[in-house]
Structure 1
Amino acid sequence: MAVDYTIRGGVAVITLDNPPVNGLGHSTRLGIVEGIGRANGDENVRAIVIIGAGKAFSGGADITEFNTPKATQEPTLTTVIKALEASAKPVVAAIHAVAMGGGLELALGAHYRVASPGAQIALPEVKLGLLPGAGGTQRLPRVVGLEMALNMIVSGTPVLSEKLAQTGLFDELAEGDLLEAALSLASQAADKGSEHPKVRDRKIEHPNAEGFIQFARNGVAAAAKHFPAPHKCIDAIEKGVKEGFERGLAFECECFLSLVQTSESRALRHAFFGERAAGKIADVPPGTPVRTIARVGVVGAGTMGGGIAMTFLNAGLPVTLLETKQEALDRGLATIRGHYEAQAAKGKLTREQAEARMALITPTLVYGDLADADLIIEAVFEDLSVKESVFRQLDQCAKPGAILASNTSTLDLNRIASFTQRPGDVIGMHFFSPANVMKLLEVVRGEKTGKDVLATVMQLAKKIRKTAVVSGVCDGFIGNRMIEQYIRQALFMLEEGALPAQIDRAIEKFGFAMGPFRMSDLAGNDIGWAIRKRRYREQPALHYSGIADTLCEAGRFGQKTGAGWYDYQAGKREALPSQAVDAMIVAYSNERGIARRRIGDEEIVERLVLALVNEGAKILEEGIAAKASDIDMVYLTGYGFPLWRGGPMLYADTIGLYNVERAIRQYAKQANGEAWQPSARVTELATSNGRFND
């Protein structure tokens, strides 16, 4: 049983004990109801306290029960709350650390509430595309007021208990022992001997409720246009304001059942579980020994190296930053300092915090100064010979047991590991630029990478607040291998009849943060050019459109040169369609006898997205990615795939693999059709009516 029942001085203490955050799984719910019944049937019990063991009061629903019959098995949370409200003996909820989602709804069902300072209070269901389903939209406005409740519910953002102390949510904020405070409050309530207060009986008071609700609705319309849940939250709150608690509660239930069926909620829940699943590696069980990472070394103080350094500085880890020339080192340090000073100027850091982070950097031009680092990450030019030079030197200077990581985005990690006498200590840590901002970290597991090394890096990723996804070794790993096929299709469509602005506009309307050509201009078109040149040597049979090479030969490398697929004005980032580039594209087609045709937005989106899906399926077949949700997490956190669509592999599941394969086979019959060959996984799932994410 996930609930403990004891009696303290005539007060029954029901302790939730379902680690790690006392999720309200079926056994916990059953234990609460049985405890309430037991206490009410015992004449020696005067009152009841519900408290959480360990790290939290309750984090809400037990995620291990999601999508299983136990999630809705009686007693449901609604039934549990009814039992609390109906108790003849006063019920006190004693809250510490965390009361979120169903945990807060449970507390709102109690007659009284006492909380410790620093407790995080939230109804975060909106982040899963849902709304509170056990009365949260009706009870919270009755204790904290309409405005605060609506903001909390629509944003899902936690609020500290101290900030709610002056509302009607808590009867007491306990500075000392929480349980003792709750026992005292319970005894006082029992002494009153009267009917005990229910949140449902309170009124929602606001001087202009209708006007405020409309104001909130207007704000949500702009901020959450792709997500229905925030709108439904407001609708449910409004129902309670206008028609009372019972009708509001019934409407909340209707909204919950409606939202749980939406593709947006499914996508958000997929992302929620996918992020957690990414950290679970089949042959690296929990409890695998990890190495201590107390100091980090970074080789390279350029844009990427500086960003990586700041990622660790932000987590409080000292960094030794190595460059080969003093000018490059000074420039890198100046960039880091400028970043922190800008944050301080905006109020995101104090001046003292900015200086404290700068004080954690040890700049050096000498490899020997990396000797005390527990982890060393190289962030040098993407060339194998350059990587070889760095790793041979690291092998000589790094202490035994130090982890040697490469930030390579495409190169063979096994080759890089072979440049050392310790391949088991070598791993890929592919950060995404800007490294101190982007959430994704591709962790590349080499053939000889030690399990303890992998476990250490995955644990470290949490400390530096990254979503870590494990990839096997292949050219481009997960993200860049897939994006290459996406870019190939974009270039083929240029020579067939489309123009850069149309392609970008179509995929951005689908929901991508940035289209392929704006993205290339931002990253630098010369980077893709260098990769293609390598492809021409290594895979001469692989067909590419030559349009991008023509662009680069004209020196149009993107924003950094003021000209790429688009034109740019000095000091501005706005992408302006270029007549010169459009003319160059049309001329390219004409010179090669390619009859240009009208390409619709629907085809543009389908070709770009299905290119990702098909390559992702091949990555799964080869075992480069362990599961489809890992691929989705790469694209949601690193490549701007629309969150409400859940990633390329979930999107394919949504439209059906039969339709995916059918479209791929149709494109294989068109111009540049050799780029389309359905993966065996796509064909298998299309035939069996299967899904990538089962």
Structure 2
Amino acid sequence: MSLVDIELRGTVAVLTIDHPPVNAGSADQRAALAEALAAIPAEAEGVVVTSAGKHFYAGSDLREFDRPLASPQLPDVLRLIEDLPVPVVAAVSGLALGGGLEFALACDARVADSTARFGFPEVTFGILPGAGGTVRTARLIGVPNTIDLVTSARQVSAEEALELGLVDAVVPGESLLAAATEMVRRGKRVLRTADAPGVDRAAVDEALARMPRRARPNVRRAAEMAVRGAQLDGDTALAEERMLFDELRATEESASLRYLFFARQDAAKALRSKAKPRDLRRVGIVGAGTMGAALAEAFASAGFPVRVVDTNEAALDRLEPPVETAVSLSDLADADLVVDAVFEDMGVKQTLLRELEPVLHDETVIVSNTSYLDLDEMAKVLERRERFAGLHFFNPPDRNPLVEVIRTAATDDETFSTLGTVVRKLGKTGIPAGIGDGFVANRVYADYRTQAEFLVEEGASPQQVDEALVACGMAIGPFAVADLSGLDIAWARRKRLAASRDPRRRYVPIADWLCEDGRFGRKTGSGWYRYPEGARRGEPDPFVARLIERNRAEKRITAREVDDAEIWRRVLGTMVAAAARLVEDGTARNARDIDVALTEGFAFPRWLGGPVRAFSRLAPGERVSALAEVFQSCPATFEILEPAARGVLPREVEVLLSQVV
């Protein structure tokens, strides 16, 4: 199969890219394009480039970025376009992203249909556009707009692209080829040799100021290149941009971001099955509390008709259109998917399921949003258990991208496939998870939080732990997270597990004492921190400091100085220990799913690739010593790490690390 076809239509040569599924750039595709451009018939008075598929050119094949790029590289192909003696017009439908947009910009004109979307996603992979994205764009639409596009990674519609001047016309899909052919008559316009529009320094400064305060270095370098490139001649600017691209592509940060991209793709594939998903027309949610209300907003935003049932009419009154409300379960009779978002208690949830099932039609899928409870146990009250599963959203579910899809022993393939489709339609990142206390992400987080409490017990303060982890790249520390999500949720779990808790395991009661005092976090004005009225950011609280001192005194612990490096080592090692247990017992498929879960759901730094990937980048000796520290913090809790105390990497951790290569 030819990746690029040439057909002479009258006096215009039409080049059609045919590289399924999305015309992603690759060495073979670039070679085919170069060959086609060299073979333009002499009688052609112009060239139109179009696509045989849905997308014009959806970026580059990231797998190539882990090794030296094969020739011809994209800048070589784009130079061939510019050097043609006849005009070249890009006829764009679907996606023109990254290298695809750079390809279109090397053409002399661009025509789009209404399906077209344009953008530079490179900064999300730790790099910047490397084939003229900063240089040609600035010469076409100005420096401020270029800064926005190359640093935000956002996609713009055909209409916005026309407003910006990124495309010359937007036409109906059936007219795209004819319009592009007509535009050939406008002649050559090589952006590489054009001058950038006059630079308005105030507008540039405003565009730079809009970048996030914690923007990664590559994002800032992309912005700087847009500014600098406009001041240089085109060839010099393109060479400098390519040098920066190659430098950033070789960094560990870029490699980690590419690793996560493929890990997310792999997790998405795992949520598909050969069974055909059911058609979901209406969604019901039981529970109008904080979680239920946010779930309703998430489903409604994705285009699902949603009805929320709750006996608390005041809670229902807080919901906004288009969400429908009701007080009786019978009003869910026409729902195709029903989500349990009631109180986290097995008895409450089983009572709901008993009452709910008879109301629903036989094909309705029921899911529980439980964070910790045993779904197999919960399912025992159902007759049609094959239609039941877990769909665990993370707070706040209308913004947090992570969803765990938990299959019970009875869940059938059709139900599982349906839920995978739901996750995709919601625009979420899903991972499959097995049944176990806390499933995947919460189990890792619970151990991580426990280790943070050990560090406080030994001499750190909550503020120091949070600040140390934020300095290492975490968006927010564990104590601030606990206050944000509510201390009562984890407290309920601890009380539920109290009777079965191993007495040999170290236990820090400070969080229990806070809850007993009614301090559940931000929502009550105090938790690990205090929140003066209206404050979103917590302040250190002398009351908490006194509780910490009380705990140390009761346990006869003499506070010692804990440095930030130790905090990071022990937290990272604890996450890896939890991950190793999850993979060993089958609750998680592999280390990659766990890295996806922690970066998506708990804001672990993406540029580190997730906790397992980050740990794998440590030197062998550092890995063992970090795990030995974690083991010493509580041998009964971290039995899996006992070999590390003897200077040996545990087998389970070796297996885990082999999965992030």
The CA distance in 1 between the partners of 2:419 and 2:494, in whole Å, is 31
Which range moves more in the overlay, 9-18 or 405-414?
Answer: 9-18
What is the CA RMSD across the aligned residues, in angstroms?
2.6
The TM-score, its normalising length taken from structure 2, stands at 0.92
Unmatched tracts of structure 1, length 5 or more: 338-354
1:603 to 548, 559, 566: 566
- Provide the secondary structure at the position in 2 that maps to 1:184: helix
Q: Give the 3 Å change call, closer, same or farther, for CA 420–500 of structure 1 in structure 2.
A: same
**What is residue 284 of structure 2 aligned with on the other side?**
297
2:580 to 587, 595, 617: 617
C-alpha displacement of 1:555: 3.3
C-alpha displacement of 1:124: 2.2
After TM superposition, the structure 1 = structure 2 runs for residues 269-288 of structure 1, keeping only pairs within 5 Å, are 269-281=258-270, 284-285=272-273, 288=275
Q: Give the 3 Å change call, closer, same or farther, for CA 60–556 of structure 1 in structure 2.
A: closer
C-alpha displacement of 1:530: 1.9
The CA distance in 1 between the partners of 2:402 and 2:411, in whole Å, is 20
**What is residue 216 of structure 2 aligned with on the other side?**
227
**What is residue 249 of structure 2 aligned with on the other side?**
260
Q: Give the 3 Å change call, closer, same or farther, for CA 161–373 of structure 1 in structure 2.
A: closer
C-alpha displacement of 1:684: 3.6
Which range moves more in the overlay, 625-634 or 675-684?
Answer: 675-684
Q: Give the 3 Å change call, closer, same or farther, for CA 571–244 of structure 1 in structure 2.
A: closer
Structure 2 residue 40 is matched with structure 1 residue 36: no
The CA distance in 2 between the partners of 1:578 and 1:93, in whole Å, is 61
2:231 to 232, 242, 248: 242
Structure 2 residue 421 is matched with structure 1 residue 421: no
Q: Give the 3 Å change call, closer, same or farther, for CA 453–532 of structure 1 in structure 2.
A: same
C-alpha displacement of 1:682: 5.9
**What is residue 383 of structure 1 aligned with on the other side?**
345
C-alpha displacement of 1:690: 5.1
The CA distance in 1 between the partners of 2:182 and 2:612, in whole Å, is 54
1:584 to 540, 547, 567: 547
After TM superposition, the structure 1 = structure 2 runs for residues 72-221 of structure 1, keeping only pairs within 5 Å, are 72-117=69-114, 119-165=116-162, 169-175=166-172, 177-186=175-184, 188=185, 196-208=188-200, 216=207, 220=211
- Do 2:26 and 2:61's aligned partners in 1 also have CA atoms closer than 8 Å? yes
- Do 2:62 and 2:258's aligned partners in 1 also have CA atoms closer than 8 Å? no
Structure 2 residue 462 is matched with structure 1 residue 525: no
- Do 1:291 and 1:453's aligned partners in 2 also have CA atoms closer than 8 Å? yes
C-alpha displacement of 1:167: 6.2
The CA distance in 2 between the partners of 1:152 and 1:102, in whole Å, is 14
**What is residue 66 of structure 2 aligned with on the other side?**
67
- Do 1:657 and 1:686's aligned partners in 2 also have CA atoms closer than 8 Å? no
- Do 2:106 and 2:190's aligned partners in 1 also have CA atoms closer than 8 Å? yes
1:440 to 387, 391, 402: 402
Structure 1 residue ranges (4+ consecutive) displaced by more than 6 angstroms after TM superposition:
685-689
C-alpha displacement of 1:491: 1.9
**What is residue 438 of structure 2 aligned with on the other side?**
476
Deviations along 1:495-524, one digit per CA (max 9) or x if unpaired, are 222222222222222232322222222333
Structure 2 residue 424 is matched with structure 1 residue 462: yes
**What is residue 522 of structure 2 aligned with on the other side?**
559
C-alpha displacement of 1:166: 6.2
Q: Give the 3 Å change call, closer, same or farther, for CA 165–216 of structure 1 in structure 2.
A: closer
The CA distance in 1 between the partners of 2:112 and 2:555, in whole Å, is 74
Unmatched tracts of structure 2, length 5 or more: none
- Do 1:501 and 1:577's aligned partners in 2 also have CA atoms closer than 8 Å? yes
C-alpha displacement of 1:219: 5.3
- Do 1:652 and 1:660's aligned partners in 2 also have CA atoms closer than 8 Å? yes
The CA distance in 1 between the partners of 2:159 and 2:9, in whole Å, is 28
The CA distance in 1 between the partners of 2:438 and 2:192, in whole Å, is 57
C-alpha displacement of 1:474: 0.6
C-alpha displacement of 1:471: 0.6
Q: Give the 3 Å change call, closer, same or farther, for CA 237–113 of structure 1 in structure 2.
A: same
Return the letter of the residue paired with 1:183.
Answer: T
The CA distance in 2 between the partners of 1:106 and 1:224, in whole Å, is 31
**What is residue 347 of structure 1 aligned with on the other side?**
none
**What is residue 331 of structure 2 aligned with on the other side?**
369
Structure 2 residue 324 is matched with structure 1 residue 332: no
Which range moves more in the overlay, 21-30 or 484-493?
Answer: 21-30
1:310 to 297, 308, 311: 297
The CA distance in 2 between the partners of 1:480 and 1:565, in whole Å, is 19
Deviations along 1:649-674, one digit per CA (max 9) or x if unpaired, are 221122245522321113433x5343
- Do 2:576 and 2:653's aligned partners in 1 also have CA atoms closer than 8 Å? no
Deviations along 1:306-340, one digit per CA (max 9) or x if unpaired, are 221222122222223222x3xx1x12222223xxx
- Provide the secondary structure at the position in 2 that maps to 1:575: coil
- Provide the secondary structure at the position in 1 that maps to 2:335: coil
- Do 1:147 and 1:212's aligned partners in 2 also have CA atoms closer than 8 Å? yes
The TM-score, its normalising length taken from structure 1, stands at 0.88
Structure 2 residue 399 is matched with structure 1 residue 407: no
C-alpha displacement of 1:370: 2.1
C-alpha displacement of 1:66: 4.8
The CA distance in 1 between the partners of 2:236 and 2:137, in whole Å, is 16
The CA distance in 2 between the partners of 1:86 and 1:75, in whole Å, is 15
Return the letter of the residue paired with 1:335.
Answer: R
